[in-house]
Amino acid sequence: SLNTALVEARELKRSLRTVGVVALDETRSAHVHAKVRGFIERVAVDFVGRKVKAGEVLCSLYSQEVFAAELEFVALLERAAGGPMPAGEFGAAERRAQEQLLGAARRRLSLWDVPKAEIARLEATRQPQRTFALTAPRAGVIVAKQAVEGMFVEPSLELYTISDLSRVWVLADMYERDVPYVRPGVHAHLNVEGREGALHAPVAFVPPTVDEVTRTMKIRFELDNTGGSLRPGAFVSVTMDLTLGEGLSVPESAVIRTGTRAIVFVVQHDRAEPREVTLGPLIGDRYRVDAGLSAGDQVATGAQFLLDSESRLQASSAPKGGHVH
């Protein structure tokens, strides 16, 4: 007497649990660098966590290059205002040349991130300043800071990182075997460490590459954080139900693993015949069957070791294979 299970088609789903971390939204973040070499003479925004507005002064820099460019700009302004231009074609050419030089001087200062207000002040007062202000390119929160008064800076040094934390990402690890079943729009339950209650969010992005070291990819969720309860760096537990499509399945207890092969015993009338099958992933306590069985087959479950042993004895003595009574 054998216990049997019916091979049948069903909607296959499995629950996936993984971990992730709250991260900055890269599309709402800015990295602040000085575009010239110089020294920080004053730090206006002096701690991580401070909120800033777009255009707010972060620190003041002294740069020999910028100061020299301001002196040159003032000299060009004074030359242009120095006296009447000659009449005729020569005078027109001189005016055009002066306008081009002034335009080039303005652009150079602008490309070095000298604020427009400072350039306008120079034009109005003709008074160069020793320092110029480095301003915030966007509104947000200071999440990283290296600027220190008296520090020598160059373009490669990141002075501040500013991010809008009203929206954040959750980056969750996903192994290669699960990648075919995860796609944008699949919903998940997110439990953030230090926050009560689960959040529900769809997968927003699945990257096209796998990390060669960890063999995982970082899938992304995008979450509203208007209240500020989600803090970058916080640990996140992620649970999602993956739909694997419709297919045949057999109980895990019906399968014998023999090296690289998988064997089940198909019960027909008074005998159980071993049959090699191709299996998909284990879904709960059942394997998906990709090949080797048909809907309606009956497979033996339990006592598989005895069945397997007897089958091998029968197979070794029968000319065309064997069967188990």
Residue type, 137: P
Residue type, 162: I
Question: How large is the angle between the packed helices 88-111 and 64-80, nearest 10 degrees?
Answer: 160
**What kind and span of H or E run contains 32?**
strand 29-33
Residue 132 corresponds to which tokens in the numbers above?
A: 């110029």
Per-residue pLDDT of the chain (325 residues; tens, 9 = 90+): 567 777 887 777 778 899 999 999 999 999 999 999 999 999 999 999 999 999 999 999 999 999 999 998 888 888 877 666 566 676 677 778 888 888 898 898 888 888 888 889 888 888 999 999 999 999 999 999 999 999 999 999 999 999 999 999 999 999 888 888 888 998 999 999 988 889 999 999 999 999 889 889 999 999 999 988 999 999 999 998 877 777 888 888 778 777 788 888 888 877 778 888 888 777 777 788 888 888 888 887 865 544 554 455 455 445 544 455 5
Task: Report the predicted TM-score, pTM, of the whole model to 2 decimal places.
Answer: 0.70
| Structural fold of domain 14-25+165-244 | Elongation Factor Tu (Ef-tu); domain 3 (2.40.30)
| CA 193/CA 308 separation, integer angstroms | 48
Q: Where are the domains of the chain?
A: 3-11+246-317, 14-25+165-244, 26-163
Q: Which residues contact 16 (CB under 8 A, 6 or more apart)?
A: 178, 182, 239, 240, 241, 242
Residue given tokens 């048909």 in the structure block: 294
297: exposed, middle or buried (Cβ count in 10 Å: 0-12, 13-18, 19+): buried
Provide the Cα torsion 289, 291, 292, 294; round to 10°: 70
Q: What CATH number was assigned to the domain covering residues 3-11+246-317?
A: 2.40.420.20
The CATH class of 26-163 is: mainly beta
| CA 254/CA 270 separation, integer angstroms | 18
Residue 285 near residue 256 (C-beta atoms within 8 A): no
